[in-house]
Amino acid sequence: MTEPTSSLVSGIIIFLNGEPFIEEAIASVFAQTHKNWELLLVDDGSTDSSSAIAQQYAQQYPDQVRYLEHDNHQNRGMSASRNLGISHAKGEFIGFLDADDLWLPQKLEQQLDCFSRYPEAAMVYGRTLIWYSWVEQTSNQEQDYFYELGVCPNRVIQPPLLFKQLLNNKYQTPTTCNALMRRKVFDQVGQFEESFRAMYEDQVFFSKVMLKMPIYVADACWAKYRQHPQSCSAKNERQAYYTARQPFLAWIQHYLKNQNIEDIEIIQQVEQEVWQCQHPRAAHLINRVQHYSNQVQSLLKRSLTLT
């Protein structure tokens, strides 16, 4: 078996009308310090010039870049597009990048080093920069931030701890632009669920990994997650949070039952999340009270420390 540090990595960029940013995303793959990669550009039915841009790269760099599309140039959603890329990938490791995000230059090199040092890890991820400063305005630069990881980093986390954190939705969990995984992950847990065309398609897939596989969490930033009004996540913020979350939780309940996962703590946690979605006003009030309670406790601890 090839050592991870010299392995072929398959990068998959899915795009739908990604003209404004796709060339930056592609350039961030070409800028990788690890050079043994292939790039699969998966077109989800674009109607702008991003199709032509992707085809041009595939023609110019045929040894490393390939263009893929669904039959008849259909729009089939994010999950089906990721799966199309996976089915054509040749690498021992697979990573994803949306057309409006960026990989930092040492992402693949450093993540492969993590796999080399921790061969039991099925997936590696670190911090993702929530990126406003691409606009290059001072006020936007000040808005860039990271979520807390929620675990002590630079170690392998055993399942299902990270899954429980994903359910709580308070810490950063894997992002598609940040995570890198062994190819065997897809053989063992399956691919992306195609019924999730957009929102929560990543969390559904990562849930399957987190429930069953050890994951290395690093205290390093390897990707920039661009924030702009047309991004999928920004559009979701304009929807009711609890309404958008219900299909994801329903899928989780079905999956736990289908996989005969009977962890009482997980089942109760999912039931609590479902209750919140069914009673959004009460849930909002409870969460606000909990938030203020946590703030008070934090202030009290700080005061006791100072005295």
190-222 tens-digit pLDDT: 999 999 999 999 999 999 999 999 999 999 999
Query: What residues make up the domain containing 114?
Result: 4-238
- For residue 134, is it within any domain? yes
Which tokens belong to 95? 């990573």
CA dihedral 161, 166, 170, 174 (to 10 degrees): 100
Q: Which residues contact 258 (CB under 8 A, 6 or more apart)?
A: none
Residue 134: its pLDDT value, please?
Answer: 87
Q: Which among 46, 48, 47, 68 is positioned nearest to 57, based on CA atoms?
A: 68
* In the predicted structure, residue 75 carries a pLDDT above the cut 60: yes
Tell me the CATH number at 69. Answer: 3.90.550.10
Which one-letter DSSP state was computed for residue 294? Answer: H
Instruction: Read off the pLDDT of each residue in 79-104 and give the average, rounded to a whole number.
Output: 97
- For residue 277, is it within any domain? no
> Under a CB-based contact definition with an 8 Å cutoff, are residues 217 and 155 in contact?
yes
DSSP conformation letters of 229-272: TTSHHHHHHTS-HHHHHHHHHHHHHHHHHHTT---HHHHHHHHH
38 vs 291, more confident: 38
Which one-letter DSSP state was computed for residue 213? Answer: S
Q: Specify the pTM.
A: 0.88
Total domains in the fold of the chain: 1
- For residue 294, is it within any domain? no
Residue 279: its pLDDT value, please?
Answer: 86
CB atoms closer than 10 angstroms to residue 213: 21
CB atoms closer than 10 angstroms to residue 173: 26
Residue 235: its pLDDT value, please?
Answer: 47
Residue 113 main-chain phi, psi, to 5 deg: -65, -40
- For residue 107, is it within any domain? yes
- For residue 296, is it within any domain? no
> pLDDT, tens digit, for every residue of 132-170?
988 876 555 668 899 999 999 999 999 999 999 999 888
Distance in angstroms between the alpha carbons of the first and the last residue of the chain: 59
Which tokens belong to 167? 């359910």
> pLDDT, tens digit, for every residue of 103-127?
999 999 999 999 999 999 999 999 9
- For residue 248, is it within any domain? no
Kindly report the average pLDDT of the chain as a whole number. Answer: 91
- For residue 204, is it within any domain? yes
Residue 32 main-chain phi, psi, to 5 deg: -65, 140
Q: What are the start-end ranges of the H helices in the chain?
A: 22-30, 50-60, 78-88, 107-117, 138-141, 161-168, 184-189, 201-212, 232-237, 241-258, 264-278, 280-306
> pLDDT, tens digit, for every residue of 225-258?
998 665 555 444 545 788 889 999 999 999 999 9
- For residue 275, is it within any domain? no
Residue 261: its pLDDT value, please?
Answer: 94
DSSP conformation letters of 121-150: -SEEEEEEEEE-GGG--HHHHTT-B----S
> pLDDT, tens digit, for every residue of 262-295?
999 999 999 999 998 888 888 778 777 775 776 6
> Under a CB-based contact definition with an 8 Å cutoff, are residues 50 and 120 in contact?
no
Residue 307: its pLDDT value, please?
Answer: 61
b/e burial code for range 258-270 (CB count within 10 A of at least 16 → b) = eeeeeeeebeebb
